[in-house]
Structure 1
Amino acid sequence: MSLVFSALASVDGYTVDTSGSFDWAAPDEEVHAAVNARERGIGTYLYGRRMFETMRVWQDMGGDGAPDVIREYADIWRSADKIVYSSSLTGVTTPRTTIEPVFDPSAVRALVEAAPGDVSIGGPTLAAEAFRAGLVDEVVLYLVPVSVGGGTSALPTDLMLSLDLQEEHAFPSGTVMLRYRVTAPAA
């Protein structure tokens, strides 16, 4: 199985802008359906505290009246296990969620090797630790046609990675999906 880092990002490489907003990254229905198709194979999500706090809204989303793509993603998210790496969280309010006080690369490597499906690492801060440890196998970026000029970088800015393009898809909205295999992780 693989450890996959996936993110919606601006064309200049940021997941949030300088004010911390990511409203500009909201996917349209077609992009959301593509994300859902890719996420169906994820059995476990690895999050830092901030990313978990952003994502936990999916526990209650997708009720009656919600668009099909929203209901589908909510079901995908709820059915996966979640591991949150945080020294400040003492409890969680979502099922299938555990807290680990520290990110342990050896434990993550063992988890990925034993997983029945792919494992996703969410959030650029936690993912940077996994990139530095040479754990990330695949990068999937959905580049949104906007340049935000700064914020939180999707990929580590202090690390060189060699990537091999595996797939690309341009959506009518202008968003482009790029899927890479990591060929030379951090040294």
Structure 2
Amino acid sequence: MAQLIYAAITSLDGYVNDSSGNFDWSEPDEQVHAFVNDLQRPMGTYLYGRRLYQTMKVWETMYGQTDLPRVVRDYAELWHQADKVVYSRTLHKAETARTRIEANFDPAAVRRMKTEATADLAVGGAELAGQALAAGLVDQVHLFLSPVIVGGGTRALPHDVRTGLELLDEHTFGNGVVHVHYRVHNGT
């Protein structure tokens, strides 16, 4: 069975954006970006909420461009080759290749996807990931803690979910970002 993996770049105080919705402080340098690319390489499907999808769809326009840095071209290729499922009640038509729109997040459908998938799945967007965590669907969590405190915004992790975690790995980058990788113990 494939695993569902949640990865997010967060502030040290646990937000994916600040109270104004800005996340410019989270832009990865080349070293972090290459590490993220390696994490995303085995993913066959991305599950997104609408807002994150609308942010990420720019990668479709970068696919095939030869004048971009290698790490950016690499991610654009990974993103282009993966299937995308976008959960939205307001989007009715996909704007990128290999993308389908679902009106509602259905935990049973995601369980079936995990069972039938030949590659791991990634869940993106803090709200959607929170729903997946609450449903006991997330198998691993990767957090990239940025050396900044933003004081509020969108939490990377839901406030009303309790589950045990097992630290699998940690890595410190030269720019002060710290990556922590956990296995989720659902139901504990």
> Cα offset for 1:30?
0.3
Q: Helix, strand or coil: the match of 1:51?
A: helix
Q: Percent identity?
A: 51
Name the aligned partner's letter for residue 159 of structure 2: T
1:28 aligned residue: 29
2:98 aligned residue: 96
1:139 aligned residue: 141
1:41 aligned residue: 42
Q: Helix, strand or coil: the match of 2:96?
A: coil
> Cα offset for 1:24?
0.1
Aligned CA RMSD, in angstroms, stands at 1.0
Pairs within 5 Å for 1:116-155? 116-155=118-157
Q: Number of aligned pairs?
A: 186
List per-residue Cα deviations over 1:60-117 (Å, max 9, x = no partner). Answer: 1252221000000000000000000111111011010001111110010010111111
List per-residue Cα deviations over 1:127-184 (Å, max 9, x = no partner). Answer: 1111111100000001111111110000001111211000100001100110000013
What is the rounded CA distance, in whole Å, between the counterparts of 2:115 and 2:14 in structure 1?
A: 30
What is the rounded CA distance, in whole Å, between the counterparts of 1:71 and 1:44 in structure 2?
A: 19
TM-score by length of 2: 0.96
Pairs within 5 Å for 1:1-187? 1-61=2-62, 63-185=65-187
What is the rounded CA distance, in whole Å, between the counterparts of 2:92 and 2:60 in structure 1?
A: 19
> Cα offset for 1:33?
0.3
Judge conservation of contact 1:132–1:185 (CA < 8 Å) in 2: no
Q: Helix, strand or coil: the match of 1:36?
A: helix
Q: Helix, strand or coil: the match of 2:143?
A: strand
What is the rounded CA distance, in whole Å, between the counterparts of 2:174 and 2:163 in structure 1?
A: 29
What is the rounded CA distance, in whole Å, between the counterparts of 1:117 and 1:155 in structure 2?
A: 24
